[in-house]
Amino acid sequence: MPTDAPSSLPPVLRPDAPPIHTLEDLAARFAVDVRGGVAGVTLTGLTLATADLRSGDVFVAVRGVNRHGAEFSATAAEKGAVAIVTDAAGASPAEASGLPVIIVDDPRGILGELSAWVYSTGRDDTLPVLFGTTGTNGKTSVSHLLEGILGQLGAVTGLSSTAERHIAGQVIVSRLTTPEAYEMHALLALMRERGVEAVAVEVSAQALSRRRVDGIVFDVAGFTNLTHDHLDDYADMREYFEAKLPLFLPDRSRRAVICVDTELGAEVVRRSEVPAVTVGTPALASDADAAAAADWTVEILDERPVGTQFRLTARDGRTLTTLVPVIGRHMAANAALAIVMILEGGYAWESLVDALDEGRIDAYLPGRTELVSGETGPAVYVDFGHSPDAFEKTLAAVRRVTPGRVVMLFGADGDRDATKRHDMGRTAVEGSDILIVTDHHPRHEDPDSIRATLLEGARRARPDAEIHEFSPPERAVIEAVALVGEGDAILWAGPGHQDYRDIRGIRTPYSARELARRALREAGWPVPEPHWPVPYPTDTTPASDPERPVYPER
């Protein structure tokens, strides 16, 4: 049923003084038919969801999974919409609202171009430098590292990642990995208005497939890797890979920086239609020789709980040595990718050396192998990784800095790619001394069944391993802390920065970072002050707005 209740998702961010356009111009540019009068009507924004609608908006009515957005045209009119943009199928219900109706062939298909026009000032010289990063693992880390390094160079920065949106120092919780096209263009307009000079954007495969970054040309596109994930959205790994490639076409980016540590990185280089520079980490790569032949190579120098020190070297002999403040060789590779992307974005090598050489990158990566424990007692890391490859890399990183035992605590997403669950269980048990399986986002699946599949994969791989099953996760982390002592480590993979669990469509307040701290404190171990805001929310709200077209959260 439709509802006027506020969306539980964070609000759409918009410029304070948006450009003003006329419906006549909009119709002249985009319409195949117009019903109703458009003369003398102005608009200041647009939206797909009436919950986000503001007076002066155009309501873009698209067909969702369950309903056509045009069914909500009357609500849009009541909230101050000035017109409806829809397709032929939505024209009649849209007309019933009494608003002008602008009919286009494919409202979803033109949303990016339409949004770019609505929020455009007509001046390209006001646009910030745009960095877009795609890949399976590392997108969020690279984005936050880009922002951190750019800040060290003195730039006013913006960020759009799975975890957060940042606008010149303001921090907002994210809605989706990559926002809808109208949200993305409104966000960029607000950043431009606030003097942001450079923006790091995480670009998911789903964002490219669903055209959420249409109308945007990134100055530099980055590629991290491609591993098993998202086969709930794509038929197979080849289709998933192909979904990433449009980012490396001239209508999406101007230059590319590509990590060649995985086999498919080389294929991205071959198929990129924009100039591409490569980065390789021989200690990580599936083909060490190919990585060593990259334009830039990464040498791991030291791994400590406070971070990973590495040396970045160019073919021409330029070198830079710095520390990324997170454990893991893969994090050094992510940091190197960010540094080279900034260089390709036009920033001076000398400035990067002055800011970083023999120092450290000043960046906070929320929920990315985040150490939430104190200086004494067991080390507890909370991580967002939820794929076999992420488990393998992160467990190896924890192992290298842990003198004692490593405990792995994890669950799996419901209503998502179930084909990776056996491999998640196998990788988790192979990399740990003790395995604890718990719940994550069950969504509409039976959590007992999800855990059973994970346990089956683990027990097949190591029948003799110490494996526990605890539900819910609030209990699981207490049990995990009871199993460890000084010199041991716990890796809690999956929840990362998230502040909720999706249980049958309800966003249940939940913070793995805070639950881990609480368990440590109750066991008598000291805990530091958190980076994140606490307490986390105490209300429960619907996981999605019924008026919003339904797309999986990515």
Domain boundaries, the chain: 21-107, 124-360, 370-542
Tokens (6 digits) for 185? 């263009």
Q: What is the model's pLDDT at position 410?
A: 97
Q: Which fold has domain 370-542?
A: Protein-Tyrosine Phosphatase; Chain A (3.90.190)
Q: What is the model's pLDDT at position 529?
A: 85
pLDDT string in tens for the chain (554-residue length): 333 333 445 667 899 999 999 999 999 999 999 999 999 999 999 999 999 999 999 999 999 888 999 999 999 999 999 999 999 999 999 999 999 999 999 999 999 999 999 998 766 667 899 999 999 888 999 999 999 999 999 999 999 988 789 999 898 876 555 678 999 999 999 999 999 999 999 999 888 998 989 999 999 999 999 886 656 678 888 898 899 999 999 999 999 999 999 989 999 999 999 999 999 999 999 999 999 999 999 999 999 988 999 999 999 999 999 999 999 999 999 999 999 999 999 999 999 999 999 999 999 998 888 999 999 999 999 998 889 988 998 999 999 999 999 999 999 999 988 999 999 999 999 999 999 999 999 999 999 999 999 999 999 999 999 999 999 999 999 999 999 999 999 999 999 888 889 999 888 888 999 999 999 999 999 998 887 654 333 333 333 333 333 322 32
Q: Which helix (H) or strand (E) holds 370?
A: strand 370-371
Q: What is the model's pLDDT at position 437?
A: 98
Query: Residues with Cβ < 8 Å from 189, sequence gap 6 or more?
Result: 14, 15, 18, 19, 119, 121
pTM of the model: 0.84
Tokens (6 digits) for 438? 């718990």
CATH superfamily of 21-107: MurE/MurF, N-terminal domain (3.40.1390.10)
| Total Cβ atoms within 10 A of residue 241 | 17
Domain range 124-360, CATH class: alpha beta
In this structure, are residues 163 and 140 in contact, taking their beta carbons and an 8 Å threshold? yes
Measured between alpha carbons, how far is 165 from 200 in angstroms, rounded to an integer? 10
Q: What is the model's pLDDT at position 84?
A: 98
Q: What is the model's pLDDT at position 235?
A: 81
Q: For residue 478, report the phi and psi dihedrals to the nearest 5 degrees.
A: -65, -45
Q: Are 124-360 and 370-542 the same fold in CATH? A: no
